[in-house]
Amino acid sequence: MSESPTLGAEAAASVVPASSGTPSPAIGQASASVVVVPEPESAVKPRSKKRLVLLALLAVAIGAGGYKGYDWWTVGRFFVTTDDAYVQADISVLAAKIPGYLAAVPVMNGQTLHKGDVVARIDDGDYRLARQAAHDKLVTQEAAIVRIGRQIEAAQAQIVQSASQIDAAKADSVRATADYARQQQLEKVDFVAKSRIEQARADRDRTDATVKGAEASVIVMRANVDVLRAQRQEAEGVAAELRTAEARAARDLDFTIIRAPFDGVVGNKAVEAGAYVSPGSRIAALVPLESVRIDANFKETQVERMHPGQRVHIAVDAYPGRDIIGEVEFLSPASGSVFSLLPPDNATGNFTKIVQRLPVRVRVPADIAREGVLRPGLSVTVRVDTRDPKTAAAPETDRQRTASAPE
């Protein structure tokens, strides 16, 4: 059977002479002398370009990995990171100290207060009356003390007067006794009348009685002075109690005005004017934004090289991209579980080791705290630079921030 013209033409088109001096073979023998034509250069170039791109990417990856490894070895391994950290502050809950109805609450949530500013006022009518009553009682008692003091002075003056009368009576007694002795001597020689002797004896007895009476009066007067002094001491004790009552009434009157104990921002206002409050009733909370801090909880395996004074890089979730520099203030003296309400008891026999967390206090710069961007309760990520302070003095670069990732 003869070949079709089309097949013979395709075979002839794919055959090239082996050399210029050799005749072409017959069409039927084309398969024995076929030479394949090489692919054009346009088909080779895309493969070469892909190979170059892959090699370039591999080189970049190796270089980046080496750079990262070098960066971690020189910088990153010294950073200790945790995202178990929060902004904290010593929030004060302002409460009433005395019962009463609120006359005014001139503050609102979010209002900035300074130390001494009025937060609330309790109706003070009853407390003013109580203070006035206590003051009046004290004035009356002090007047009684003055009166007793004057009575003591008068009694002491009478004692002095009676003492002088005793001296005069003793002088009369001595004179009468001497006169009676003389009359007795004269009686022995019958030189004096008997009536004269009796008169001298009576004078002697009278003067002796006068002396004894004056001395007894002085004793009574001194006893009265002692009684008056005891009364004055008792009155002074009552006056001291009344002074305490007046001071307590004045203090309660002062408590009708609730003031801010420090600078801060009002939050969680709980009452309005007209409400009745009892001692301990919550009025509002005062947040000291200028004295905020960071409380971070690090694993016990992370605190080996950590100590107070080290630089801390603070990243606030609410302000991405901002890096705040703080300082380690102190490390807690015990782990967080020790201070928990129910500390763990590992003596039960069912022990599972858990990595403990150690609270670390981070001090926030005063200028950052005054900005008010750090609000208590916000989540932050902290990175502690545990290098030598001189080495860590240089500012952290972007590559250093990513050298150690959060847990």
Checking if the pLDDT of 371 tops 90, the result is no
Give the residue carrying structure tokens 């080791």.
353
Q: Which residues of 232-260 are buried (b: 16+ CB within 10 A; e: fewer)?
A: beebeeebeebbebbeebbebbebbebeb
Q: What does the block give as tokens for 334? A: 């015990």
Digit-coded pLDDT (tens) for 121-136:
999 999 999 999 999 9
93 pLDDT above the threshold of 90: yes
Q: What is the pLDDT of residue 185?
A: 67
> Is residue 397 over pLDDT 70?
no
Highest mean pLDDT among 171-185, 197-211, 214-228: 214-228
Give the separation between CA 126 and CA 133, rounded to whole angstroms: 11
Residue 395 has pLDDT above 90, yes or no: no
User: Does any domain span residue 58?
Assistant: yes
Q: Is the pLDDT of residue 11 over 50?
A: no
Res 388: pLDDT: 63
Examine residue 406 and state whether it is found in any structural domain, yes or no.
no
What is the average per-residue pLDDT within 8-33? 42
* Residue with the larger pLDDT of the pair 126 and 164: 126
Q: Is residue 155 part of a domain?
A: yes
Residues 134 and 150 both lie in one domain: yes
Three-state SS at 160: helix
Question: Residue 407 domain-assigned?
Answer: no
Highest mean pLDDT among 27-41, 159-173, 286-300, 388-402: 286-300
Q: What is the pTM of this model?
A: 0.62
Q: Quick one: pLDDT at residue 147? A: 93
Same domain, 173 and 137: yes
pLDDT at 195: 67
In a 10 Å sphere around its CB, with 0-12 CB exposed, 13-18 middle and 19+ buried, how is residue 229 labelled?
middle
Checking 321-325 for CB contacts under 8 A at 24+ apart, the result is 323/396, 323/401, 324/364, 324/365, 324/368, 324/374, 325/365
The answer on 139 and 243 residing in a single domain is yes
Q: What local confidence, expressed as pLDDT, does residue 404 receive?
A: 43
CB neighbours of residue 106 within 10 Å:
11
Kindly state the average pLDDT of the residues 165-188: 69
Residue 55: pLDDT over 50: yes
Proportion of the chain above pLDDT 90, given as a percent: 43
Q: Using CA atoms, how far apart are residues 255 and 257, in angstroms rounded to an integer?
A: 5
The C-alpha atoms of residue 167 and residue 174 are separated, in whole angstroms, by: 11
* Residue 122, phi then psi, degrees to nearest 5: -100, 140
Same domain, 27 and 62: no
* Structure tokens given for 150: 């004057």
Domain boundary among 47, 74, 101: 74
**Crossing angle of helices 194-254 and 125-188, rounded to 10°:** 170
Those residues whose C-beta lies under 8 Å from the C-beta of residue 21, and which sit 6 or more positions away, are none
DSSP label at residue 188: H
Quick check: 407 pLDDT over 70? no
Model confidence at 206, pLDDT cuts 50, 70, 90, reads confident
pLDDT at 134: 95
Domain that holds residue 69: 38-74
Mean pLDDT rounded to a whole number for the chain: 80
End-to-end CA distance of the chain: 83
- Enter the tokens of residue 390: 């001189």
pLDDT at residue 390 greater than cutoff 60: no
Q: What is d(CA 281, CA 283) in angstroms, rounded to the nearest whole number?
A: 6
Pick from 307, 228, 312, 258: nearest CA to 117: 258
- Do 199 and 225 reside in the same domain of the chain? yes
Phi and psi at residue 372, to the nearest 5°: 80, 15
Same domain, 145 and 220: yes
Q: Is residue 201 part of a domain?
A: yes
- Residue 239 tokens read as 């006056």
235 and 148 share a domain?
yes
Query: Do 228 and 244 share a domain, yes or no?
Result: yes
State whether 215 and 178 are in the same domain.
yes
Of 286, 307, 334, which residue is a domain's last?
A: 286
Q: Is residue 178 part of a domain?
A: yes
Check whether 358 has a pLDDT greater than 80: yes
Give the least confident one: 33-47, 85-99, 217-231. 33-47
Indicate if the pLDDT at residue 8 is higher than 70.
no
Q: What is the pLDDT of residue 341?
A: 77
Between 140 and 77, residue with greater pLDDT = 140
pLDDT score of 222 more than 50 = yes
Final residue belonging to a domain, choices 209, 237, 253: 253
- Helix, strand, coil % over all residues of the chain, rounded to 5: 50, 20, 35
Give 337's DSSP letter: T
How many domains does the chain contain in total? 5
The DSSP secondary-structure symbol of 109 reads T
Query: Which CATH number fits the domain that encloses residue 148?
Result: 1.10.287
Backbone φ and ψ for 364, nearest 5 degrees, come out as -100, 135
322/364 same-domain check: yes
Q: Are residues 248 and 261 in the same domain?
A: no
Residue range 178-204, pLDDT digits in tens: 766 766 666 666 665 666 666 767 777
Instruction: Using the predicted structure, report yes or no on whether residue 311 has a pLDDT greater than 60.
Output: yes
244 in any annotated domain: yes
Say whether both 196 and 219 belong to one domain: yes
Q: Among the listed ranges 22-36, 94-108, 215-229, 231-245, which one has the minimum average pLDDT value?
A: 22-36
Asked whether residue 132 is domain-assigned, the answer is: yes
Look at residue 25 in the predicted model and tell me its pLDDT. 45
Whether residue 125 contacts residue 103, with contact meaning beta carbons closer than 8 Å, is answered with no
Q: What is the mean pLDDT of residues 237-253?
A: 95
